[in-house]
């Protein structure tokens, strides 16, 4: 017997299911996808990043949020949970519920083997449609390396990378600098990421 096609969900149906779910799912093109579980190393990097940004942005009109805050490209586009995001100015939400932000300034994803292609490909292509987004940062787990994509005045995106624990990454969108030594504090590099925390199978394939 042929496998039955997976029913397509509307964004409204996805949000209704997701808001009642105990685990997180992303959504694109009528389908929802279980989020991958993270490694201990990935969790450390995310915590370090969020902490450094919170300290660097004190006194500025910007807020830092972690993995539990959903962002939406558009009402019928991608719904995703960035590892870290920053909003400068008044946060705006999709439907007034306060759980789906639509005007991030900076989005950061920590790469993993199961999600790297998704983060670099479809996810970034979707994120570029967010008018407020000025920078997209990818952070390696394998080595001290960050990559930053910046939206320029003409709408094009530039690329730069910073490598080495003695280096500092400049984030123009939020006017701050973050040392890679702080991003990777207490993180053992150059080894497999190790056991994953409980979660789903990974991003959109």
Residue 129 has pLDDT above 60, yes or no: yes
Task: Work out the end-to-end distance of the chain between its first and last CA atoms, rounded to an integer number of angstroms.
Answer: 25
Q: Which value, in Å, is the radius of gyration of the alpha carbons in the chain? A: 17
Q: Facing residues of 28 across strands?
A: 31
Domains of the chain listed by start with CATH number? 38-183 (3.90.1570.10)
Structure confidence by residue, pLDDT tens digits, 79-127: 999 999 999 999 999 988 899 999 999 999 999 988 999 999 999 999 9
At residue 107, the 3 state secondary structure works out as strand
CA distances from 34 to 71, 79, 90 (A): 16, 12, 30
Task: Show Cβ contacts of residue 132 under 8 Å, excluding neighbours closer than 6 positions.
Answer: 102, 103, 104, 105
Determine the average pLDDT of the residues in 194-202. Answer: 38
Count of C-beta atoms within a 10 Å radius of residue 73 = 19
In terms of phi and psi (left: phi > 0; alpha: psi -120 to 50; beta: otherwise), the region of 117 is alpha
pLDDT confidence of 204, banded at 50, 70, 90?
very low
pLDDT of residue 1: 43
Does the pLDDT value for residue 205 go beyond 50? no
| Res. 192 pLDDT band, cuts 50 70 90 | low
Confidence class for position 39, pLDDT limits 50, 70, 90: confident
Residue 168 tokens, joined: 């500092």
Residue 202 in this model has a pLDDT that exceeds 50: no
Residue 190 has pLDDT above 90, yes or no: no
Give dist(CA 35, CA 17) in Å, integer.
Answer: 14
Residue 81: name the closest of 146, 121, 36 by CA.
Answer: 36
Task: Return d(Cα 94, Cα 137) in angstroms, integer.
Answer: 23
């Amino acid at each position: 017997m042929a496998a039955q096609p997976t029913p397509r969900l509307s964004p409204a149906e996805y949000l209704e299911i997701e808001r009642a779910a105990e685990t997180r799912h992303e959504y694109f093109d009528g389908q929802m996808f279980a989020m991958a579980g993270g490694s201990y190393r990935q969790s450390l990097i995310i915590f370090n990043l969020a902490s450094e940004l919170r300290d660097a942005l004190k006194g500025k009109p910007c807020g830092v949020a972690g993995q539990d805050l959903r962002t939406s490209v558009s009402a019928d586009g991608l719904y995703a949970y960035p590892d870290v995001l920053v909003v400068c100015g008044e946060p705006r939400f999709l439907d007034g519920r306060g759980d789906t932000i639509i005007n991030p300034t900076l989005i950061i994803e920590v790469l993993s083997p199961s999600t790297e292609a998704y983060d670099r490909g479809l996810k970034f292509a979707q994120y570029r449609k967010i008018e407020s987004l000025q920078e997209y940062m990818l952070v390696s787990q394998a080595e001290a390396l960050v990559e930053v994509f910046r939206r320029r005045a003409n709408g094009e995106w530039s690329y730069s990378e910073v490598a080495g624990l003695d280096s500092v990454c400049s984030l123009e969108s939020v006017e701050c600098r973050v040392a890679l030594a702080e991003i990777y504090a207490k993180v053992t590099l150059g080894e497999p990421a190790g056991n994953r925390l409980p979660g789903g199978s990974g991003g959109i394939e």
